[in-house]
Structure 1
Amino acid sequence: MARRSDVEQRLLDKARRYLPGGSGGNLVLPEDLDFLVSSGKGSHVFDVSGNEYVDWLMGSGPMVLGHAHPAVTEAVIKAVEGGSTFFTTNERAIELAEVLVNAVPCAEQVRFTTSGTDACFNAMRAARAFTGKEKILKFEGAFHGTSDYAMMSLTPPASVEYPQAMPSSGGIPKAIQELMLIAPYNDLATTETIINAHLDDIAAVIVEPVQRVISPKPGFLQGLRDLTERHNIPLIFDEVVTSFRLAYGGAQEFYGVTPDMCTVGKIMGGGYPLAAVLGRADILSVYDRRASDDDTFVNQIGTLNGNPIACAAGLATLAVMREEGTYEKIHGAGAAIRQALVEICNQNGVPVQSCGEDAIFDVYFSEQPVSNYRDTLAADTAMMTRFNTGLLERGILKGAQKYYPSAVHTDEDIEKTIQAVREVVPLIQG
């Protein structure tokens, strides 16, 4: 277990005094394992006590080029010297919008936000304004940020019948439940039944192409595209996680399916607060006062939307992502870890399901194949907690869900991680 200094302990005590739960709400650890990251370089992070960790969390995804990448750092320093934000359209935002349109198949225009939550919320609002309808269909267990609409049926009990929506947070008005329809991911037949029953009310269907770490079944995304196209329902891909990770053109390129709109974030901001709604120009015209009437105009404003610092980081990041061999490194690192996880679990008689793609994945400790949210409920969560804890005690950092391979994870990082897995797996069966 990592050594904790008196300085770090005092900071942790102060965090518990001033922050609810002692954190910002992101990665919450048991008190005896809690630590504070002081810096990161490449594929490693360092805590206040000086302990070093191989990082598979990577800031929950955006740091695909590693921490403090020199090209990104240089671009940000140069941008900061010219001022941090102006609340007006700036040159770097225009340049980044052009890069995004050239990269992402569905993108004709771009609307910047500062977070994935904001992007998904605004994509749903734009669809409502464009269609004049109110209901959104989302998939059970999908995460589209923390807006009231997105937090419907993120973690519902299995007893809830489709398409009933259930809030997965306190503080959400009951009226929101009536505006969301819930379908099971990877189940096209049930989804079609729900859509057919609510054709007059559905403003959009929103889906994570890879739902958390569950890959789409062959034909599911294309079937969803065909179904929504047939009924003239806008299809939104939430690509906050998958954009520029699965491929340069995101899940749309990787799976060969083009939606009407998508949301992007994480990687495209290079580790800075930046996200965006991308899509058809006729839909995004609802953001243009001159092209909309009072009933359809969407008033979307944000102090830091498209700010030059984040856009500079995004431009620098995507320039490196376009370099030859970048995606081979990301997928290669993930493939090595995934293969080792399954082999070591099999050798120790631990039931395991490997889910996702090489660029974003995790395992479930379960006998049952996992293709949707309800399948995940059969997994042994206590075993997963013991597993992740054991890795952390051996200097391997990952989140509660997802490995985020990067272009800078080394063979040494991979071998150290695999060795930790070898040590931990025999200990986790309770």
Structure 2
Amino acid sequence: MLYTRSSQLFAEAEKVIPGGVNSPVRAFKAVGGTPIFVKSAKGAYLYDEDGNRLIDYINSWGPMILGHAFEPVVQAVIEKAKLGTSFGMPTELETQIAALAVSMVPNIDKIRFVNSGTEACMSAVRLARGFTKKDKIIKFAGCYHGHSDSFLIQAGSGAITFGSPNSPGVTAGTAKDTLLAKYNDLENVATLIEANKNEIAAIIVEPVAGNMGCIPPNKGFLEGLRQLCTDNKILLIFDEVMTGFRLAAGGVQELFNINADIVCFGKVIGGGLPVGAFAASSEIMNYLAPLGPVYQAGTLSGNPLAMAAGLAMLQALDADRAIFQRLEEKTAYLAAGMEEVLKANNVVFTINRIGSMVSVHFDADPVVDFQTAAKGDNETFKKFFHGLLQEGIYIAPSAYETWFITDALTYEDLDFTIQAVDKVSKTF
């Protein structure tokens, strides 16, 4: 495939945008080469500026669960735009989507809409600290909760030490209140809690990790976190920005029948427009201004275009709950097909999947946390990525990202992808 136009556009972008992109993973730094510039998308396919068609396994990093340019969402946005794009005042739409979300997700009474997943997670942590009157939080290595200062933390020197900033601009003072735990390791979490008795406001976790590849929780891990939080008066925050309304109508809480105290949303809940949200019981949510002392605000929060897109998306999912089973079946079919051809070509690999999330790791050992994810052969992944790209398939340009399956994918698309994996893996 030729990417002449994309290369030209990237060169122009680099002159006026840092790194030529507005989000770092788009820059292809992890895989090499020049980013693909998209011109349009429909259903399961991307169409780039050079006229190439690509089967899409990113789907805008998750929200396009029903495919690109899903007609009910597009029409909802068009009709709403005709009436005005932003008011900075309440609209009925906000109540409608809030009521629908609350009805679909277990264990929440109220929800507040913001403009991104980062904002949702940042606000959830502030709310947890205000509600518990404690300062520290626990997060997990490899789990990404946006680029808020509290979350850009790397490991300290031991299990009970404070984390340290892993980005310039994050102060040591901020980092000292973030403790870093090991995903799928309850003993490690218990040690951190014991060493910081009565100081921890919240544990925030991707209940199914998607930012070190797809990593489901080990049996008993989420249940153990719930018990540790209950026993120590700590709030459990599920970051369901990726998994909410994707793995089930009610997200991971429904899938595993585990109640979090606060849940964060993004991606699917906005139908592809910039939206985030966080939700909890009335008792916790009533601590937010204007009812309570914890301040959180946003000029464009509840933007009518985003609310229209999100409402249309949730209505479609609510009306067709069978979609989650269809997505599970398609993902299982794809994973089984890839496993067969990778084995046949003597490739060392592990495939993780759950629901409509799947990832390929080029290492033989189980991938259960960031440390094991980091063992993967990145040179093989680069060949895999570029090989699939040449075959007309677009996956995340990073070994640390999950693939997202969309209902718009046909079994013909999946078979084509499996054949492409077979062809590419013969070159390793």
TM-score (norm 2): 0.94
| Aligned twin of 2:2 | 3
The answer (yes or no) to whether the contact 2:198–2:232 under 8 Å persists in 1 is: no
| Aligned twin of 2:207 | 209
Identify which of 307, 313, 321 aligns with 1:311: 307
Identify which of 12, 15, 21 aligns with 1:14: 12
Q: Which amino acid is 2:299 matched to?
A: T
The answer (yes or no) to whether the contact 1:106–1:261 under 8 Å persists in 2 is: no
| Aligned twin of 2:345 | 348
The answer (yes or no) to whether the contact 1:240–1:265 under 8 Å persists in 2 is: yes
Alpha-carbon distance in structure 2 between the residues aligned to 1:160 and 1:376:
20
1:427 is the counterpart of 2:423: no
Deviation at 1:223, TM superposition (A): 1.1
Q: Which amino acid is 1:246 matched to?
A: L
| Aligned twin of 2:140 | 139
Structure 1 segments of 4 or more deviating over 6 A?
Answer: none
Deviation at 1:200, TM superposition (A): 1.5
Q: Which amino acid is 2:404 matched to?
A: Y
Deviation at 1:43, TM superposition (A): 0.4
Query: SS of 1:110's equivalent?
Result: strand
The answer (yes or no) to whether the contact 2:240–2:265 under 8 Å persists in 1 is: yes
Deviation at 1:364, TM superposition (A): 1.0
Alignment of 1:47-86 (within 5 A): 47-86=48-87
1:368 is the counterpart of 2:365: yes
Alpha-carbon distance in structure 2 between the residues aligned to 1:108 and 1:303:
24
The answer (yes or no) to whether the contact 2:159–2:188 under 8 Å persists in 1 is: no
Alpha-carbon distance in structure 1 between the residues aligned to 2:425 and 2:375:
19
| Aligned twin of 1:197 | 195
More displaced 10-residue stretch of structure 1: 49-58 or 15-24: 15-24
| Aligned twin of 2:40 | 39
| Aligned twin of 1:413 | 413
The answer (yes or no) to whether the contact 1:163–1:183 under 8 Å persists in 2 is: no
Query: SS of 2:263's equivalent?
Result: strand
After superposition, give the CA deviation of every residue in 1:383-426 in whole Å (9 maximum; x if it has no partner): 11211111111110011221100111011211111111001112
Q: Which amino acid is 1:314 matched to?
A: G
More displaced 10-residue stretch of structure 1: 271-280 or 169-178: 169-178
| Aligned twin of 1:96 | 97
1:339 is the counterpart of 2:336: yes
1:127 is the counterpart of 2:156: no
How many pairs are equivalent?
A: 418
Alignment of 1:174-323 (within 5 A): 174-212=172-210, 213-289=214-290, 291-292=291-292, 297-322=293-318, 323=320
Deviation at 1:343, TM superposition (A): 1.7
Deviation at 1:225, TM superposition (A): 0.6
The answer (yes or no) to whether the contact 1:115–1:275 under 8 Å persists in 2 is: yes
Identify which of 310, 326, 329 aligns with 2:326: 329
Alpha-carbon distance in structure 2 between the residues aligned to 1:146 and 1:106:
27
After superposition, give the CA deviation of every residue in 1:72-100 in whole Å (9 maximum; x if it has no partner): 11111111111111111211111111011
The answer (yes or no) to whether the contact 2:152–2:166 under 8 Å persists in 1 is: yes
After superposition, give the CA deviation of every residue in 1:141-198 in whole Å (9 maximum; x if it has no partner): 1100011111113xx59x7545431323222111122101111111112211211221
Query: SS of 2:165's equivalent?
Result: coil
After superposition, give the CA deviation of every residue in 1:95-144 in whole Å (9 maximum; x if it has no partner): 11101111111311111110000000000000011111100011111100
Q: Which amino acid is 2:109 matched to?
A: E
Alpha-carbon distance in structure 1 between the residues aligned to 2:107 and 2:97:
16
Deviation at 1:11, TM superposition (A): 2.1
Identify which of 374, 378, 382 aligns with 1:377: 374
The answer (yes or no) to whether the contact 1:106–1:262 under 8 Å persists in 2 is: no
Q: Which amino acid is 1:58 matched to?
A: N
| Aligned twin of 2:387 | 390
The answer (yes or no) to whether the contact 2:345–2:422 under 8 Å persists in 1 is: no
Deviation at 1:32, TM superposition (A): 4.3
More displaced 10-residue stretch of structure 1: 297-306 or 117-126: 297-306
1:117 is the counterpart of 2:113: no
Query: SS of 1:306's equivalent?
Result: coil
Alpha-carbon distance in structure 1 between the residues aligned to 2:241 and 2:33:
32
Query: SS of 2:404's equivalent?
Result: coil
* Superposition RMSD in Å: 1.6
TM-score (norm 1): 0.94
Q: Which amino acid is 2:349 matched to?
A: V
Query: SS of 1:232's equivalent?
Result: coil
Deviation at 1:356, TM superposition (A): 3.2
Alpha-carbon distance in structure 2 between the residues aligned to 1:186 and 1:325:
30
Alpha-carbon distance in structure 2 between the residues aligned to 1:152 and 1:31:
26
Identify which of 159, 163, 166 aligns with 1:165: 163
Alpha-carbon distance in structure 2 between the residues aligned to 1:233 and 1:226:
10
Alpha-carbon distance in structure 1 between the residues aligned to 2:360 and 2:36:
25
Alpha-carbon distance in structure 2 between the residues aligned to 1:273 and 1:47:
22
For structure 1, the 5+ residue unaligned runs are none
Alpha-carbon distance in structure 2 between the residues aligned to 1:396 and 1:367:
24
Query: SS of 1:427's equivalent?
Result: coil
After superposition, give the CA deviation of every residue in 1:328-366 in whole Å (9 maximum; x if it has no partner): 222122111111222222222222111231311202111
